[in-house]
Amino acid sequence: MIILHADTNHPALMRKLEEAGHHNIEGYEQSRADTLQNQHLYDGIVIRSRYKIDREFIDAAPNLKFIARVGAGLESIDVEYAKERGIQLFSAPEGNRNAVGEHSLGMLLSLFNKLNKADKEVREGLWQREENRGVELDGKTVGLIGYGNMGKAFAKKLRGFEVDVIFYDLKEGIADDNARQVGYEEFFEKADVVSLHVPLTEETEHMFNKEFISSFKKPFWFINTARGKSVVTADLVEALKEEKVLGAGLDVLEYEKASFESLFGNKKNVSMSAADPIPEALRELMFMPHTLLSPHVAGWTKESHKGLATVIADKIIADFGEGGEK
């Protein structure tokens, strides 16, 4: 098969496909328009998040047999229309789930022990011990929203702590030795920590809002390594001010571009001058001492770079065999 690679990935991906008899085309510099013009030439496309694969794109690709996204989610693809056209879809949540689990745990421990705040103060010559007294994780109830690859990976990382791990998921009967499944009522009552592990859908977009936050019976800590648009930033900021949310670790932000490569346009650096088009809620969030932010890198480790590529290559080869024989 002729496979277009719209984004750069670990070399293992193209190497494995080439060894299986497929022909790789590097389209890293092609615009979406250029790709559309030549899409009839390709049997498959491998993307990360540079542009959307919508109905227009699919209609321009009569020979397309598969779309592979080197990542966990498929929200940049019109999944239903692709299925109607008989196009196989591949993603690779297995490839970076361990990285996301470790990042989630790291964020939680850093927040509990005020490590980012304390580090900044010591570098500024401040030695404030009482103000940086931490909180221990043992004895807490950690609640996960979503129990797929990422939720399960985080739950596994928590096994070394004396914590009660619970989760809410629409799928029934998916509990394991690392976490127990509960209904929303018990979740809202018991959770000391809330961690999001859901894909971005119509149901999960802006799900973490004022109404959702007010449903909890006690203040809680919040971690989001899933999708930024699941959170209403203004409502989170208000909850942090009111101490309904005690602290937040956010690897993803509501205002990210769809490509996840930047916050605004193609700018890699966002200054904090008043002239910049930064929403007020985000500006406030950035200056809150009990928040921890990272640039969508929870699943972005050296190991997962190769892991994601390997998983995608193996799935394509498993379905289409040597040289495209299905």
Active-site annotation, residues: 227, 256, 296
For 274, list phi and psi in degrees, rounded to 5: -65, -20
Q: Which of 249, 298, 282 is nearest to 115 (CA)?
A: 249
C-alpha 100/C-alpha 82 separation (Å) is 28
Element (H, E) at 68: strand 66-69
Q: Contact 56/35 with Cβ under 8 angstroms?
A: no
Which segments of the chain does DSSP mark as H helices, in order? 11-19, 32-38, 55-59, 79-84, 93-112, 115-123, 149-157, 184-190, 210-214, 233-241, 280-286, 302-320
Q: Contact 9/46 with Cβ under 8 angstroms?
A: yes
* β-pair partners for 246: none
